[in-house]
């Protein structure tokens, strides 16, 4: 996730033996923002995304919300194509214009306003969940 372009990108990697200096992790308040948000988990049609502070687990030394790739993939197979609702509803993936840049700056600099920003996101964009696929409700797993 990046402050400027959210999570709607494909990361690439280059293998090299060049001696490179390590940079430091970037903290723009995302962990706290996600704790207050949870919109992606709310609208994930397969239930693959956990929500809430007590749903975090340690993965390779990092505390995180671990998604369930099988549930996600099963949903993709059911609908016959990729999903991406979690990316479509994430507030950090809005178009990079002046207004959204200001909101991102506010979210980073003023932690006490993050809950309000999430509420504004819900009111402004009125995210609607899609219909539940049959395999989720037929208890076949």
Residues in the site for ligand SF4, rule: CB under 6 A?
Answer: 33-34, 37-40, 44-46, 48-49, 67, 72, 75, 83-86, 89-92
Q: Residue 78 and residue 49: Cα distance in Å, rounded? A: 17
Nearer to ligand SF4, 14 or 53 (CB): 53
Sign of the alpha-carbon dihedral angle for 135, 52, 93, 126 = positive
Rounded to a whole number of angstroms, the minimum distance from the CB of residue 18 to ligand SF4 is: 33
Name the residue among 138, 119, 135, 116 with its Cα closest to residue 127. 119
Q: What are 63's strand-pairing partners?
A: 58
Q: Residue 138 and residue 130: Cα distance in Å, rounded? A: 17
Rounded to a whole number of angstroms, the minimum distance from the CB of residue 109 to ligand SF4 is: 16
Rounded to a whole number of angstroms, the minimum distance from the CB of residue 123 to ligand SF4 is: 15
Nearer to ligand SF4, 15 or 45 (CB): 45
Do residues 63 and 49 touch, judged by C-beta distance below 8 A? Answer: no
Q: Residue 104 and residue 26: Cα distance in Å, rounded? A: 14
Rounded to a whole number of angstroms, the minimum distance from the CB of residue 40 to ligand SF4 is: 3
Nearer to ligand SF4, 21 or 46 (CB): 46
């Amino acid at each position: 996730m990046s402050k400027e372009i959210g999570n709607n990108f494909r990361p690439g990697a280059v293998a090299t033996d060049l001696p490179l200096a390590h940079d430091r992790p970037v903290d723009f308040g995302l962990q706290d923002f996600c704790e207050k948000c949870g919109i992606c988990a709310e609208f994930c049609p397969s239930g693959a995304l956990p929500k809430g502070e007590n749903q975090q687990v340690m993965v390779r030394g990092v505390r995180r919300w671990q998604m369930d790739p099988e549930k996600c993939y099963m949903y993709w197979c059911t609908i016959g194509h990729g999903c991406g609702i979690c990316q479509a509803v994430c507030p950090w993936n809005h178009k990079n214009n002046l207004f959204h840049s200001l909101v991102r700056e506010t979210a980073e600099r003023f932690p006490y306003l993050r809950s309000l920003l999430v509420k504004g996101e819900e009111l402004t964009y009125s995210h609607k969940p899609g219909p539940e696929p049959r395999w989720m409700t037929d208890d076949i797993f």
